Chain A
Amino acid sequence: EVQLVESGGGLVQFGGSLRLSCVASGFTFNTYEMNWVRQSPGKGLEWISYIASSGSPIYYAETVEGRFTISRDNAKRSLYLQMNSLRAEDTAVYYCARGVTMVRGHRPCFFDYWGQGILVTVSS
Chain B
Amino acid sequence: EIVLTQSPATLSLSPGERATLSCRASQSVSSYLAWYQQKPGQAPRLLIYDASNRATGIPARFSGSGSGTDFTLTISSLEPEDFAVYYCQQHSSWPLTFGGGTKVEIK
Which residues from chain A sit less than 8 Å from chain B, CB to CB? Answer: 35, 44-47, 50, 59, 61-62, 95, 100-102, 106-117
- Measured between beta carbons, the chain A residues less than 8 angstroms from B94 are 50, 59, 107-108
- The answer to whether A45 touches B95, judged by C-beta atoms less than 8 angstroms apart, is no
25 CB contacts below 8 A, A to B, read A44-B99, A45-B36, A45-B38, A45-B44, A45-B89, A45-B98, A46-B98, A47-B89, A47-B97, A47-B98, A62-B95, A100-B49, A102-B49, A102-B50, A108-B90, A108-B93, A108-B94, A109-B91, A111-B44, A111-B89, A112-B49, A112-B55, A114-B45, A115-B43, A117-B43
A110's partner among B49, B95, B100 (CB-CB below 8 A) is B49
A108's partner among B44, B45, B91, B101 (CB-CB below 8 A) is B91
Smallest CB separation, B38 vs chain A (Å): 8
User: What string of 1s and 0s marks CB contacts (under 8 Å) between B66-107 and chain A?
Assistant: 000000000000000000000101111111111111000000
Closest residue of chain B to A60 (Cβ to Cβ) is B95
- Measured between beta carbons, the chain A residues less than 8 angstroms from B11 are none
B96's partner among A50, A62, A95, A113 (CB-CB below 8 A) is A50
